[in-house]
Amino acid sequence: MASNVTLLCVNRFIRRAMYATELDFDAIRHNLLSTWVWDNDGFTVNQIGHPYQGSFYYVAGRSNGLGFWSSTMLAAANSVLWEYTFETETPSVNDLIVTAFGGASTGEVLHRLYVDARVRGLPLAAAFLISPMDAVSDLVSRRGRPSSLGDTGEITALSLALGPAAEARALDNQREGEENGLFPAGFARFDIVYGEPFSLNSAVPYEHFEFSTQVSWSPAGYFITLLTDGSIASRPLPAGDGASGSLSLSLHYDFILGPEIRLSSHALGIGVKRSSSVGDDATFSLRAHLAWVMLGGSDYINLTFGPEEEEEGHGQRRMYDFGTGACAKVDARMDLGRVGAVSLQYAVYWLYTLPPTVLKPDGSEGHSLTGLAVASYEVPIARGFSVGITDSFCHKAGWYDDAEDAFEWCNLASLFVRKRFI
């Protein structure tokens, strides 16, 4: 409740947002009597903002003794409360789904990173930047250190890579005025592994998770990717000589955010992670996931470049589709010791547009396929440091019933220096 009130005050008195400044008892009564809809809010607000907002609800429970599932229900309940009583917009189905599930996956990651950082001695003021709600709970309760609430995991790998890059892109010809070509760019990547990925035996959610985000910037714009997977329950696979592995039920929250290609995915599926020794100094590891995308978002060109019309009863125009479908993620790595390490990653998302969410008159039913491939090679040069080269290729194809099909891609090649902190 406190986080809802705080956000309402920010929206009403600082941002002066219309959906907050016009909130009164009549608006609340209208919301309570309305049928839930699929809203028109922008991609960043719906697909990134709402999961982060949901993480505050979720962490409020986790930091005060609730477990994963109880905290997820708390996030869902607070989302319903927000939809009915803290804004004038009609309550929306998509907000409830992404706030609850996105809030749980984001909130559990932030909560565990916060606890780990505090246990390692990070001051409260600095840990606040990781998980503000955890820090507020510790401050209010006057705990000297955070309670792990029975959690047994810790960060097992943490690295940051930076370097110069070059970006190339080929956009669909429907994007009027957009420029193709080659652009100088900058590159950064941040990776976290929490817990043991290859021999986990636990029914406690998020005893293991992986978090990887990549950011690039160029004259053509920014490009951000986030890939996460968290184990809901995991069992070890049969081990052999120098080999170990695990099978898990996993929750995923991923997004691609660029000026051209945008995608979000909240997914639940099965994952296999396995590591094996190859010779004396080499190790091969494989991570593979197949999941159901419960709800995703995918940009739709015809909404961006079609006629500038607003839907009746709405103050803005959504530029993307809501969909459900499937995703697959594969990450293979060969570590050759001093010779270096080679890694190949590919994540692909198929989304079918949900018919009730199609915007009229320019929307269309259809489906899309979005993929992100990353290849890299790096060599250790000093303790905790390595240098390497990486290439990221993102592609998007859309096939629509009542609009022109689309295909476009962008590619980023970079040299980098990586620092491993853990």
Kindly report, residue by residue over 120-141, the tens digit of the pLDDT. Answer: 999 999 999 999 999 998 888 7
Out of 141, 167, 185, a domain closes at 141
Residues 93 and 178 placed together within one structural domain of the fold? no
> What pLDDT, on the 0 to 100 scale, is given for residue 13?
63
Residues 236 and 327 in one domain: yes
Identify whether 26 is part of a domain.
Answer: yes
At 313 the pLDDT is 42
Is 378 a domain residue?
A: yes
Angle, nearest 10°, between helix axes 132-141 and 50-62?
30
Q: Are residues 165 and 129 in the same domain?
A: no
User: CA gyration radius for the chain?
Assistant: 22
Q: How open is the CA angle 161-166-171, to the nearest 5 degrees?
A: 120
Alpha helices in 282-386 (DSSP H): 301-305
Residues 89 and 193 occupy one common structural domain = no
Backbone angles phi, psi at 35, to 5 degrees: -80, 140
Which DSSP state fits 11?
I
- pLDDT score at 281: 84
In this structure, the answer to whether residues 278 and 407 fall within a common structural domain is yes
Q: For residue 198, tell me if it sits in a domain.
A: yes
- Pick from 89, 111, 141: which residue ends a domain? 141
348, amino acid identity: V
Whether 146 is in a domain gets the answer no
Q: What pLDDT shows up at residue 353?
A: 95
Strands 221-236, 181-194: parallel, antiparallel or unpaired by DSSP? unpaired
Coil, helix or strand for 129?
coil
Q: How far apart are CA 318 and CA 325, in angstroms?
A: 20
Residue 157 phi/psi, 5-degree rounding, is -155, 135
CA distances from 279 to 240, 243, 344, 378 (A): 14, 12, 21, 20
Yes or no: say if 390 and 376 are a contact pair by the CB < 8 Å rule: yes
Residue 310 is predicted with a pLDDT of: 46
* 238 and 177 in a common domain: yes
Total tally of structural domains belonging to the chain: 2
Give the burial class of 122: count Cβ atoms within 10 A of its Cβ; 0-12 exposed, 13-18 middle, 19 or more buried. middle
| Same domain, residue pair 93 and 198 | no
Tell me what pLDDT residue 82 has: 84
Q: Which domain holds residue 8?
A: 2-141
196 touches 244 (CB < 8 A): no
From 118, 141, 164, the end of a domain falls on 141
Residue 241 lies in a domain: yes
Residue 220 shares a structural domain with residue 302: yes
Domain assignment of residue 278, yes or no: yes
119 and 230 within one domain? no
The 8-class DSSP code of residue 92 comes to B
Q: Indicate whether 212 belongs to any domain.
A: yes
d(CA 234, CA 245): 10
Per-block average pLDDT, block size 10, for the chain (422 residues)? 66 66 80 90 92 95 93 95 86 94 96 93 93 91 59 87 94 75 94 94 94 94 95 92 92 93 96 91 95 95 62 62 97 94 98 91 90 97 95 95 91 97 94
Residues 327 and 222 both lie in one domain = yes
Does one domain contain both 294 and 167? Answer: yes
Residue 148 included in any domain? no
The pTM (predicted TM-score) of the whole model is: 0.93
Residues 277 and 411 in one domain: yes
The CATH number that applies at residue 409 is 2.40.128
